[in-house]
């Protein structure tokens, strides 16, 4: 595993974004782990988060695209922070764009924040965690309505690697249903591999009992590999 991925896992724990215990997902699944990206709250944290996204994007897509699009609301700071780090790390001057929940009819009119889009633009979508496809189904029509643009793919921070609406993972479903390349900074397999029985700041984050709970969860909800 690349070192920046290991650093990102530590970073999520330090920011209380990645937690282990007993949680309930929005879909009603009882899960032993939870990822809440709302806990990235400071300027320093957002800068580091943007750096990890930028490294994952450069590895999977390069920097030969024009617009980084972050769906409202969580995608807005992600698009800004990552565009800044793409410039800082790779000298790539990528425009950022995001949507409003409601169209504005005065001042800076329209549905978009940041950069407008034009025919021929290559657009990469950035989101927080793997979705079930609902968000991307809402986002693509907004982007396509801006002109003859090419959506090159989707990047998320964590691939939970669990089933979406079929036996396949939500990211794989998105890839197949919409013809998009998808990538994540890390997968939950990366997280487990890195943390299992490994001391971190004086404690074992994933011990044998937690590993067994995670394995049981994936027995029930894990996606096809």
Decide if 19 is catalytic. Answer: no
Encode 202-225 in three state secondary structure: CEECECHHHHHHHHHHHHHHECCC
Which of 26, 101, 106, 201 does the annotation list as catalytic?
106
Catalytic residue among 30, 47, 104, 144: 104
Looking at residue 95, the DSSP 8-state letter turns out to be E
Q: Which helix (H) or strand (E) holds 136?
A: helix 134-144
Which residues are registered as beta bridge partners of 95? 67
For 6-94, where are the E strands, in sequence order? 18-24, 30-35, 67-70
**What angle, 0 to 180 degrees and rounded to 10, lies between the N-to-C axes of helices 188-195 and 3-14?**
90
Q: How far apart are CA 219 and CA 212, in angstroms?
A: 10
User: What is the C-alpha separation between 34 and 55, in angstroms, rounded?
Assistant: 23
Q: Give the separation between CA 181 and CA 175, rounded to whole angstroms.
A: 6
Q: Can 172 be counted among the known catalytic residues?
A: no
Q: Which residues are catalytic?
A: 104, 106
């Amino acid at each position: 595993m690349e070192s920046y991925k290991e650093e990102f896992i530590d970073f999520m724990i330090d920011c209380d974004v990645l937690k282990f215990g007993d949680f309930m997902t929005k879909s009603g699944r009882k899960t032993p782990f939870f990822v809440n990206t709302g806990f990235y709250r400071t300027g320093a944290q957002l800068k580091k988060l943007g750096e990890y996204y930028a490294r994952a994007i450069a590895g999977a897509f390069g920097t030969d695209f024009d617009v980084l699009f972050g769906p409202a609301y969580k995608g807005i700071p992600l698009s800004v922070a990552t565009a800044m780090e793409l410039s800082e790390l790779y000298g790539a001057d990528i425009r950022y764009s995001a949507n409003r929940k409601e169209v504005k009819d005065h001042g800076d009119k329209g549905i978009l924040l940041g950069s407008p889009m034009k025919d021929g633009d290559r657009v990469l979508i950035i989101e927080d965690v793997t979705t079930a496809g609902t968000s991307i189904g809402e986002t693509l029509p907004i982007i396509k309505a801006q002109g003859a643009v090419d959506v090159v793919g989707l990047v998320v921070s964590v691939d939970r690697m669990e089933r979406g609406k079929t036996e396949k993972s939500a990211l794989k479903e998105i890839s197949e249903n919409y013809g998009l390349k998808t990538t994540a900074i890390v997968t939950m397999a990366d997280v487990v591999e890195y943390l299992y029985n490994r001391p971190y700041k004086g404690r074992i984050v994933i011990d044998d009992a937690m590993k067994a709970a995670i394995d049981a969860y994936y027995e029930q909800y894990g996606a096809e590999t």
